[in-house]
Structure formats: C-alpha cells, structure tokens
Structure 1
Amino acid sequence: MNKSATSLLFVGLLATAVPVAKAQKAASEAEAVQQTVTAFFDGMRRGDSTAVRRTLAPAAVFHGFGGKPGQPPTLEIESINGFLKAVGTPHPAVWDERVTFERVLIDANLASVWAPYEFYLGSKFSHCGYDSFQLVKLADGWKIAHIIDTRRKEKCK
C-alpha cells in the first residue's frame, strides 16, 4: 500500500473512532447520572437518610407540583431537611418510588432526567407522576441539585 493510501486509511479510522468514543463517554455519563438517581431511591427505600443526603448537591431544592382533585395544581417548596428526617424516621411501610428513565440529557456538567414513576407504600399503590431531576457534576460525581415532580392518583399506568 502506498503512503497516501495508508494516510487516507488512518484518517478514515480516526474519523470513525472519535464519534464512537464520544458516544461511549455519553453513555457512561448517562449511566452515572442514572446511578445517582437510583441511589437516591435505594436510600429512600431503606430509610437511610445519610445515603439519600450523599446524592444531593449543596443547596439542593425540592418542589412538588400537584393538588387535590378538582382544584388547581399548586407548586410547593419542600424542605430538604424535613424530607431527610422523614426518610430516616422509622415508618410502617417501605417508601418505594419506582422510576423509569425516559430521558437523560447531558451537557458538560449539567444533566436533566425525565422519569415517570409510581409510588408505593409497601405493596400498596399510592400515586404516580413524573420526576424531573437536575443534576450537576461536582468533584465527587453527579449530585442532584433540583427535583420537581407531579403527583396524581388517576391516569397512572
């Protein structure tokens, strides 16, 4: 093979390798984001507020969006410390939020997760909705900076 054909082959291989490497990095970052969200819910299921706290960025914010049937929805700010205290306080039934990762978007150190969920108290269905997570990549990995969710009892799977 002559020198110019070898050079063209090498350039062609590099051109195909770069997109593959970027796709692999994007997939591994998406997996890392999902692992953080999964760790949040695993900690919640175990009643382990310390494990849940490890998934949160400093100054994280929680919002809930919902309301009573027949009334306009309301946006509520939830206390992180109150949530963590509730998670860590023994309760009769396991808090089991089952999410499906519908979409994970990442740009540099910012990620957004869109995830439908069903919430169970033990084995009893409670409510459903969508979780929207905003995560940031800090020195120690992906952390949840914001959670907002919808909550309803009807029109669930």
Structure 2
Amino acid sequence: MKKLLLPLAFGLSINAFAQQPASETQAVKKTVSTFFDGMRRGDSTLVRSTLAPGVVLHTISNRNGTTQLGVEKTNDFLKAVGTPHAEVWDERITFERVLIDANLASVWTPYQFYLGSKFSHCGYDSFQLVKYASGWKIVHIIDTRRKDKCQ
C-alpha cells in the first residue's frame, strides 16, 4: 500500500506546481494583446515594449508542397509596423491555450489577419514568454499562414 501512495502523492504534487493563479494567465494574455494592439495602431514602440531582447520571429509557410521556415528580423518587423500604411493590420486572435510554469509561458492562438476590413490569411500563433522583473516579455513567436481552412 505504501508503494502505491508514494507515486500518487508525487503525481499530485507535480499538478499543484503546474497550476498558476488566474492573475498570471491574465498578465501573459495582456502582453500578447498589447503586441497586437500595437500592430493595429501602427505603434512600433508599443509592440517593442512586449518583446524581450533577442526575440526570435519565425513563420512557417507551404510553397509548392514544401514547408518553408522564414525568419524575420525584429527591427525590420518593427519598422514595418511603424511605417504608415493605408490599411490597419488587424490580427484577430483567440486564446486557445495558455500554459505557465514558473517564469515560462506558452500561448497558442488561432488567428485571422485582416488588412483593414479585407481578410488576408489565417493560421496559428505560438508565443513563448519569459517573466522578467518588468513583467512578461515575448521571446519567440512562430506562426503558420494560409488562406484556406480558416475558422
């Protein structure tokens, strides 16, 4: 009986450590939401405030049946966001899953991207965030992009 209780107690303690207060989940969601608010406003300073130094931006696409991994330079992305453009960049997300352990968070969000009111593409975003003294910062974004099979 003692041999059975030890693994059970260990398993329960792991679950207790993995649970995070709702306030941490909300703080993570706020960082991601602020990132997209900055994109919609064309405010590269607001977007930059959500990013950790050394952030990595990746995109997965499919060209002619071949998977492509694209890397975007952070400064190029921020310049594009902050350069005036005719249409609002409106990436609409749904927080499907937020996982947190200590100072690491992972966010999974389906999205639809609009240029102004015109649909452009959809996919999923995956964010990795780290909690610094100043709050949650995005350290990695990777997304998929397609024009079909959108929600």
TM-score range, shorter chain: 0.7 to 0.9
5+ long unaligned stretches in structure 2: 1-15
| Offset from partner CA, 1:49-108 (integer Å, 9 cap, x none) | 00000000011000000133x331200111100000000000010000000000000000
1:33-52 alignment to 2 at 5 Å?
A: 33-52=28-47
The RMSD of aligned alpha carbons is 1.4
**Structure 1: which amino acid aligns with 2:146?**
R
Superposition pairs of residues 47-86 of structure 1, within 5 angstroms: 47-68=42-63, 70-86=64-80
Larger Rg over CA atoms? 1
**Corresponding residue pairs, total:** 135
Matched residue type, 2:80: A
SS in 2 for 1:36: helix
TM-score by length of 1: 0.83
Residue 27 (structure 1) aligned with residue 35 (structure 2): no
- Secondary structure in structure 2 of the residue aligned to 1:65: strand
Gapped runs of 5+ residues in structure 1?
1-18
Q: How does 1:62-141 map to 2 (within 5 A)?
A: 62-68=57-63, 70-141=64-135
TM-score (structure 2 length as normaliser): 0.86
